[in-house]
């Protein structure tokens, strides 16, 4: 498996992953990603910012994620807890895995690769958030050593459970 920066030719595969994820979340009764999000405009913005990544096997896209270093305004304030650290961090948003590869460690592999990127860049912390009802993602984060730190509020006013992992 190879994690690489996405290109504009990856957009159809990425959008398919997000459509699958939206359907999976809806089937679980989770209202996350149910209002045409993420959409092609969001993916294009991620690509333009150099933050869109895909995980491939034999050239086929099996996961997508947005990886951002040291910038997440909604992480400036945390409620009902506190972050483990206050310095530099990497954050992952919009992680989606192809349905055919779910429950096979693909999300964990993406998280591992992001950790390696952060450590190589001397970034000591990995922060991430998810919907309170997104139990598969919460389980993945806990399995991968993330600590629940509290709650953050998105720009649209929705709340998310915030996690952090100290890397170095």
The highest-level CATH class for domain 2-166 is alpha beta
pLDDT tens by residue, the chain, 168 residues:
999 999 999 999 999 999 999 999 999 999 999 999 999 999 999 999 999 999 999 999 999 999 999 889 999 999 999 999 999 999 999 999 999 999 999 999 999 999 999 999 999 999 999 999 999 999 999 999 999 999 999 999 999 999 999 999
Could you give the angle at the alpha carbon of 168 between the alpha carbons of 80 and 82, nearest 5°? 10
Long-range contacts, 37-46 (Cβ 8 Å, 24+): 38/94, 40/11, 40/15, 42/94, 43/11, 43/14, 43/15, 43/18, 44/8, 44/11, 46/6, 46/94
């Amino acid at each position: 498996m190879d994690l690489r920066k996405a290109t504009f030719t990856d957009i159809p595969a990425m959008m398919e992953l997000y459509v699958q994820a939206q359907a999976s979340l809806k089937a679980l009764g989770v209202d996350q990603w149910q209002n045409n999000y993420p959409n092609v405009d969001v993916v294009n913005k991620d690509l333009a910012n150099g933050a869109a990544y895909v995980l491939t096997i034999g050239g086929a896209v099996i996961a997508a994620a947005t990886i951002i270093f040291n910038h997440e305004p909604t992480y400036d304030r945390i409620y009902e807890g506190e972050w483990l650290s206050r310095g530099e961090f990497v954050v992952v948003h919009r992680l989606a895995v192809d349905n055919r590869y779910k429950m096979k460690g693909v999300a964990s592999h993406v998280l591992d690769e992001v950790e390696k990127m952060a450590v190589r860049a001397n970034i000591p912390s990995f922060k991430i958030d998810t919907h309170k009802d997104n139990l598969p993602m919460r389980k993945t984060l806990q399995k991968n050593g993330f600590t629940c730190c509290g709650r953050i509020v998105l720009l649209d006013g929705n709340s998310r459970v915030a996690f952090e992992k100290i890397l170095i």
